[in-house]
Amino acid sequence: MIVGIPMVLEHVVPLIAGGSSATDNLCLSCYRCNEFKGARQMAPDPVDGQVAPLYHPRQQIWQEHFAWINDTMAIHGLTPTGRATVNLLRLNNDWIIQARRIWAQIGLQPRS
């Protein structure tokens, strides 16, 4: 558990989709995000409904796909990949927004 949220080791490309357990396919993930993602690698962009690949933390740059909306502690998707990821993983649900507020109060809130 890191800063109050249980974390799990996630396969970025799921094993069922041909991913491996090699280090370059693993990342630390909030257990809820991991469950929301499941075996998916793509999701609809909520802006136009077109299917987009989910963000790959080992191959893509966070700041190219996401931005912080600091006054609300929300993450904004800047690209189809960013928006699809935010929407599918529910990155702005009430539970995580509250956690981010706590992290900000103790100086742990990440910034892009």
- pLDDT given at position 101: 85
Say yes or no to pLDDT of 104 above 60. Answer: yes
What residues have CB less than 8 Å from 65, skipping those under 6 apart? 55, 77, 78, 79, 81, 82, 85
More confident residue, 22 or 102: 22
Which pLDDT tens digit goes with each residue over 30-73?
888 889 999 999 999 999 999 999 999 989 999 999 998 877 88
Task: Read off the pLDDT of each residue in 71-94 and give the average, rounded to a whole number.
Answer: 94
Say yes or no to pLDDT of 91 above 60. Answer: yes
As a whole number, the mean pLDDT across the chain is 89
Asked if 62 contacts 37 with a C-beta cutoff of 8 angstroms, the reply is no
Asked if 7 contacts 28 with a C-beta cutoff of 8 angstroms, the reply is yes
- pLDDT given at position 112: 47
Q: What is the full DSSP assignment across 2-25?
A: BTTB-EEEEESS-GGGT--SSGGG
